[in-house]
Structure 1
């Protein structure tokens, strides 16, 4: 079982809009990509887990980046999407796993890799539009490497 070609294309567009809004400081455009009750889980640089739920909390999450004077120049990318059925078996929901990374580009200096990890999202089609219902942003460590005895 997999999303239709049309749904897959629309979900890819959702991710393109996500990165574009995040990296260009479009806070409201970023928030518009989430359901009203969305949950975002992020592993901080210190290894703590932050959980945010709802539009006001998601605004705080994205503003912590958009308000940083050193944030312009970041470019977030995601690739190698794996679609899995929703474990709760909800209609028009998919789990989407992907690799994720961020570069920093501040010409004339050369761009460089700033961060890499993975993302596990649940996307939902709401009123005909694909949105992010939950997002987990994690570094490339811990449980994802458990088969190597590193979890």
Structure 2
């Protein structure tokens, strides 16, 4: 059965809750966007390529932002959802906007590649999220 309009709206809401939670460094809220065995592999900052698996690791990432973007806003757009066998493949464009200075600065652009599943409670969650970096501004990372 094709994705309904309601499914598409709920998945877009998942994308929004994800961004708001990680931007607020709210690991408790961010982890609700993931399956228990979820996997996130960031593509920016000094943690690029490091897999974070399961609720504990994913929550710790959001609580501390080891990607060194503690004052960032994640912007996503141009969503494409395709049904696969047992999950939805989601792709979208993403930008990291640094809001720590007097004016916002776009510091990275990437394409998210996601596996999204509808769990038994009826909620949509990320099972895998692997953004592919297009470009990132040069920054000095803390040692």
Q: TM-score, normalised by structure 2?
A: 0.82
Structure 2 segments unaligned to the other structure (5+ residues):
136-143
Residue 23, structure 1, aligned to residue 23, structure 2:
yes
- The more displaced of 12-21 and 44-53 is 44-53
Partner in structure 2 of residue 149 of structure 1: none
Contact 1:25/1:66 (CA < 8 Å) preserved in 2?
Answer: no
Structure 1 segments unaligned to the other structure (5+ residues):
142-151
Separation (CA, whole Å) in 1 of partners of 2:2 and 2:130: 21
Partner SS, residue 123 of structure 1: strand
Residue 77, structure 1, aligned to residue 78, structure 2:
no
Partner SS, residue 50 of structure 2: strand
Q: Displacement, 1:46?
A: 5.6
Residue 135, structure 1, aligned to residue 108, structure 2:
no
Distance 1:104 1:54, change over 3 A: same
Separation (CA, whole Å) in 2 of partners of 1:43 and 1:67: 9
Q: Displacement, 1:2?
A: 4.5
What CA RMSD, in Å, does the superposition of the two structures yield over aligned residues?
Answer: 2.3
Partner in structure 1 of residue 94 of structure 2: 100
Separation (CA, whole Å) in 1 of partners of 2:133 and 2:2: 26
Separation (CA, whole Å) in 1 of partners of 2:42 and 2:99: 23
Q: Displacement, 1:50?
A: 1.3
Separation (CA, whole Å) in 1 of partners of 2:27 and 2:9: 24
Contact 1:44/1:50 (CA < 8 Å) preserved in 2?
Answer: no
Residue 65, structure 1, aligned to residue 65, structure 2:
yes
Structure 2 matches for 1:26-45, cutoff 5 A? 26-45=26-45
Runs of 4+ in 1 over 2 A off after TM superposition: 42-48, 59-64
Larger radius of gyration: 1
